[in-house]
A and B are shown apart, each in its own frame.
Chain A
Amino acid sequence: MSALPFLLLIGAVCAGYILNRVAAKSIRDRGDRLHSMTSYHGLFSALLILVPVLTFILFWLMLQGPVIDRLVMAGLPDGALGERGAGATQLVLAEIKSLSRGQVFGSPEEWKVAAASHLSQLHQRADWLLIVAVAALSLLLMGLARARVSADFRARQGVEGIVSGLMVFCSVVAIFTTIGIIVSLSYETLRFLKHVPLSEFLFGMNWEPQIPLREDQIAAAGAFGWLPVFLGTMVITVVALVVAVPVGLFSAIYLNEFAPRRLRAVVKPVLEILAGVPTVVYGFFAILVVAPAIRSLGQSFGLDVAPNTALAAGGVMGIMLIPFISSFADDALSAVPRTLRDGALGLGATRGEMMTTVLFPAALPGIVGGVLLAVSRAIGETMIVVMAAGLIAKLTINPLDSVTTVTVQIVTLLIGDTSFDNPKTLAAFALGMMLFLVTLMINIIALRIVRKYREAYD
């Protein structure tokens, strides 16, 4: 039943295509010279039907539920709801809905049964109305498109116009989503800042996101200074980069310049498989293998090592970033023109000299751009640190200590039964906002560097 409008639409689109194409063909067969090819006439009709009708169906399906709910509730007998609050009204509606699906619990009141049958009646009517509307709209548009067919109708320009409109829409979607994210984050962040002053959040040295459960509870006021959390993120990011940058870079240099072709053909895909490993799996690896190994190794040297160290989480995150950096560096090195390699070799440079003195400097901006993108990935990475890093915010830069990160705190603050009106929960949004700003800044820098790099040679 719900697929029927879509089938109807597909049918109308095909019919419109064929109709206009045949019409255009018959004009051509009469000996007139068409401005556009016949297939463009067909496509014009198809698109003219597809876009508005599809939009119409989607909007209808989105609005159908709420509108019918509103109608049903309005149609209830006077006084049935009485003085109930909003929550209770929701419950009544849910009960009516399950009645209409045939799920009867106990013996419902008479007016609820009536409302349930009213509901299913409305739904049925709405479905039919939609089908009729789709058919009418399709026919109307088909007729409109058909009326346009003539020897000098510019169907190609029409199609190009519609398609470029669609492309504009698609590119705008991403922008508007970003704006939406910023707006919702800022809204919640502002609510958080009503409870906690901005200066405490930005410069506070303590992070203890607790709130009193009772009015009279002592010693649970909570502290919301993000510095220790952010420092934890930075420690783990630095550890990750210390692992990922040299390994990724050297593997890229080796694969790009020194590796025999056969080895490259094997190693490069394998390296890229690493990029496809889910981060949860890296998390397991970190807690089950790396963290215990670091702990026992450190203890054998007599060091005090926490069970979930920044070193373990950061190290495993670094492994995750290796393929990222290596493929970026490889692309940057491959983009250096062959003539520069030849130039250096032709002057009697060894491959190593060519790499360090010509290729690498020329590719450096691209490599730096890749590294910065890796930084923003490391900062935003969640799963590995949730599993392998600690929960307690400590103001430390010792990688053998347990630290927590911004993402871990966001997850822990939002897990479980939470209400969205206390500073503890809202703090998650403020942290998210900061994370967003930091990665945004890094991405902007990275993009600038990458853009500059495009002008480096040629």
Chain B
Amino acid sequence: MNDMRKIERDVKMTDTKITARGVNVHYGDTHAIKDVDVDIADKTVTAFIGPSGCGKSTFLRCLNRMNDTIDICRVQGDIRLDGQDIYDKRVDPVQLRAKVGMVFQKPNPFPKSIYDNIAYGPRIHGLARSKADLDVIVEKSLRRGAIWDEVKDRLDQPGTGLSGGQQQRLCIARAIATEPEVLLMDEPCSALDPIATAQVEELIDELRRDYSVVVVTHSMQQAARVSQNTAFFHLGHLVEFNVTDQIFTNPQDSRTESYITGRIG
């Protein structure tokens, strides 16, 4: 109990990074997200859980406007990053995505060298002034991605040649290299084995020091392990949003309780 109080205090101390109010998403005729309100805290891991097709990934993709790339997708509502409406006409989604990085379900290293994978973001955003600068960024990002020791001797080899878990950490390092403020992770461990999963989870916990991290996950254990706050989605509704321990020990909604005890989902 003491432990839980400590985390609660932690959360209250941090600021809100993203606020979403009345978000609705339609895919063609399908109403995928229904009136979702959520506050995502800075320097915290927030987990989105829920059964398949409940809209958690869709909502995640609203936060960096990745849904813009899908023709039939319409997003309504108000999403603010540091108080700035990200769906405002003046906001360039390209710059937004540099600020809100994303890691995908399936590791997706580019068919380039490990170095070029990491350097991709810094290069397109002009973050490095010289080759030496870029080298520093690459090393720092790979260290933060907890993969430096494994790849430091083969930076010129293709990123696609790494194992699945290494690829995913490479993708996380690649996302970090652009110096984002928020890191969105869409089921980052679903394609990984338990050992690689443990490594990535450890990494997520590390990242909390500098970033606001949002993780979509199927695994309730994972949500319990890595997150401070948890949102439970069901059929496009945000059913319950609370401190993680509260969700798992004392759910307020009967649907949340059914899900975490394995009766639905």
**B71, B95, B110: the one within 8 Å of A348 (CB):** B95
Which one, B5-13, B101-109, B209-217, B222-230, is touching chain A? B101-109
**A261, A344, A361: the one within 8 Å of B71 (CB):** A261
- Contact (Cβ within 8 A) B120 A337: no
> Is residue B200 within 8 Å, beta carbon to beta carbon, of the partner chain?
no
From A345, A348, A361, A362, name the one whose CB has the most chain B CB atoms within 10 angstroms.
A348
Chain A contact residues: helix, strand, loop or mixed: helix
Task: Give Cα A40 to B220, complex, Å.
Answer: 52
Which one, A3-11, A119-127, A350-358, is touching chain B? A350-358
Chain B residue at minimal CB-CB distance from A345: B69
CB distance from A253 to the nearest CB of B (A): 16
Q: Which residues of B contact A114 (CB under 8 A)?
A: none
> Is residue A174 within 8 Å, beta carbon to beta carbon, of the partner chain?
no
B: interface residue count bin:
20 to 34
Q: Which of A412-458 contact B (CB under 8 A)?
A: 456-458
**B95, B125, B160, B175: the one within 8 Å of A346 (CB):** B175
> Is residue A339 within 8 Å, beta carbon to beta carbon, of the partner chain?
yes
- A residues with a Cβ closer than 8 A to B are 261, 337, 339-350, 353, 357-358, 361-362, 456-458
Q: Which 9 A-B pairs have the closest CB atoms?
A: A348-B98, A346-B102, A339-B108, A348-B97, A343-B108, A347-B121, A457-B111, A350-B94, A353-B124
- Contact (Cβ within 8 A) A346 B101: yes
- Contact (Cβ within 8 A) B66 A357: no
Task: Give Cα A353 to B123, complex, Å.
Answer: 11
23 contacts between A and B (CB under 8 A): A261-B71, A339-B104, A339-B106, A340-B108, A341-B69, A343-B110, A343-B171, A343-B174, A344-B110, A346-B66, A346-B104, A347-B120, A347-B121, A348-B97, A348-B98, A348-B121, A349-B94, A349-B120, A350-B94, A357-B120, A361-B111, A456-B111, A457-B160
Are A348 and B124 CB-contacts (below 8 A) given A343-B110, A358-B110, A457-B111? yes
Q: Which residues of A contact B98 (CB under 8 A)?
A: 347-348
CB distance from B20 to the nearest CB of A (A): 19
Q: Which of B113-146 contact A (CB under 8 A)?
A: 120-121, 124-125
> Is residue B112 within 8 Å, beta carbon to beta carbon, of the partner chain?
yes
**A342, A350, A358: the one within 8 Å of B104 (CB):** A342
Are A348 and B160 CB-contacts (below 8 A) given A337-B108, A339-B108? no
> Is residue B256 within 8 Å, beta carbon to beta carbon, of the partner chain?
no
- B residues with a Cβ closer than 8 A to A are 64, 66, 69, 71, 94-99, 101-104, 106, 108-112, 120-121, 124-125, 160, 171, 174-175, 178
Task: Give Cα A357 to B110, complex, Å.
Answer: 10
- Contact (Cβ within 8 A) B111 A348: no
- Contact (Cβ within 8 A) B69 A348: no
Chain B residue at minimal CB-CB distance from A349: B124
CB distance from B26 to the nearest CB of A (A): 17
From B66, B124, B174, name the one whose CB has the most chain A CB atoms within 10 angstroms.
B124
Q: Given contacts A345-B69, A346-B66, A361-B112, list 5 more A-B pairs with CB under 8 A.
A: A340-B110, A345-B66, A348-B96, A348-B125, A457-B111
Chain A residue at minimal CB-CB distance from B174: A347
Task: Give Cα A457 to B160, complex, Å.
Answer: 7
Task: Give Cα A375 to B208, complex, Å.
Answer: 55
Q: Which residues of A contact B97 (CB under 8 A)?
A: 345-348
Q: Which residues of A contact B124 (CB under 8 A)?
A: 347-350, 353, 357
Chain A residue at minimal CB-CB distance from B109: A343
Task: Give Cα A358 to B117, complex, Å.
Answer: 10
**B111, B160, B178: the one within 8 Å of A347 (CB):** B178
